[in-house]
Amino acid sequence: MKKVKFIYNPYAGENVILDNLDLVIKLHQEAGYTVVPYRIDSGADVIEAFMDFKEVNYSYILIAGGDGTIDNVVNAMTKAGVSVPIGILPVGTANDFGKFLGMPSNIEAACRQILSSEVTAVDLGCINEKYFVNVASTGLFTDVSQKTDINLKNTIGKLAYYLKGLEELPNFRKLYIKIKSKEMEYEGYMYFMLVFNGQTAGNFKLATRADATDGKLDVIIFKAVSIMELIPLFVKVLRGEHLDSDNVIYFKTDELYIECEEGILTDIDGEKGPDFPLSIKCKRRALKVLGMKEKEE
C-alpha cells in the first residue's frame, strides 16, 4: 500500500477531528493508502513528524487543523527538506487557506476531494525566512488570533476573535510605517496592513483579486483616516469594493520591505511573526497541494 503521513491538531476548532479519525483512516484504506498518524502535542516541535521521511516514501501529507497548523507544518517541511504534496482537512477556527483552496468543511467530503484530485502547485509567502500560506499582517487588531485563548476559540469559535478585537479598541491609534517595493513606495500613517497569498482573513474576503498561482502577493494597507471616514470604508469592505478606495493602498508584488518603529507585533497565519524590519517575498508555486478546486469564472 501507498503511505500517507497524517498530521492532526487535536486542539483545532472544536476538536472535531478526534471524532473522525477512524473515518479518515477508513477512506484512505479503501483508496489503497496506509495512514501513518502524528498527533501534534502542545509545546512539541512539528519537525518530529518528518523524522522517518528518509526511510519511508510517503505519497502526501494530510493535515488536519486551521491556518496556524498548516503554517507550522509547511515551515517544518521546508526545514526537513520535504517537498511532497499536502492535503488539508480544514478543522480550525477560521480555515481561511483551506476555504481559499475550495476545501469543504465536511471531513468525508474533504478526504474524497483530496483522494480524487491532481497535484496543483501554489505560491508561498516568505517573511524574514519564515513561510506563510495565507496572510502576513501587522498593525491594529492583526494579532488578535495570537491573544485569543485556545479554550475560548474551541468553545465559541470565530466569535472569540471578535470579542478579543473589542478588547483591543482602547489601543486604537495611527501607526507610522515605511514600505518599499518595485511597484510602490509609501511612507506615512496607517491602521493596519495585510500581505495576502490567499484571499480572506478571519473569514473577511479582503484580497478579492488574489491568485495563489500568479507569483505575486496582494498588499492591502488601510490608511489612517478619521472615524467618520472609517464607517463608509467598512461598508465598502463588506461589499468587496474597498480595493479601489482612496483610503486604501492596494498593489501586487513579488517582494517588499517594511520598516516600523511603533513597537507593534506581526502575525502570520494566526501565529506570532518576526520583528521589524520585514523582508517579504513570494515563492512562486513552491507548495504542492491536493484537493484544490478550480475557481469558477
Stretch 15-26: mean pLDDT, rounded?
A: 95
Per-residue model confidence as pLDDT tens digits over 115-141: 999 999 999 999 998 999 999 999 876
DSSP strand pairing (120-127 vs 278-290): antiparallel
**CB contact at 8 A, 181 and 256:** yes
- pTM: predicted TM-score of the whole model, two decimal places: 0.89
Last residue in a domain, options 64, 93, 117:
117
Are residues 137 and 258 part of one domain? Answer: yes
Tens of pLDDT along 238-254? 889 999 999 999 999 99
**Is residue 47 over pLDDT 70?**
yes
Residue 235 burial class via C-beta count within 10 angstroms: exposed 0-12, middle 13-18, buried 19 and up? exposed
Answer yes or no: are the C-beta atoms of 86 and 30 closer than 8 Å.
no
CA 118/CA 143 separation, integer angstroms: 35
Q: Are residues 51 and 158 in the same domain?
A: no
Distance separating alpha carbons of residues 233 and 230, to the nearest angstrom: 5
% pLDDT > 70, the chain:
88
Report, as an integer, the average pLDDT of 172-199: 93
Q: Select from 96, 117, 138 the last residue of a domain.
A: 117
Q: What is the spatial distance between Cα 80 and Cα 69, in angstroms, rounded to a whole number?
A: 16
**Confidence bin at 227 (pLDDT 50/70/90):** confident
Domain that holds residue 231: 130-283
Is 291 among the domain residues? no
- Asked whether residue 86 falls in the same domain as residue 143, the answer is no
Q: Considering just the CA atoms, what is the radius of gyration of the chain in Å?
A: 19
Angstrom distance (rounded) from CA 140 to CA 227: 15
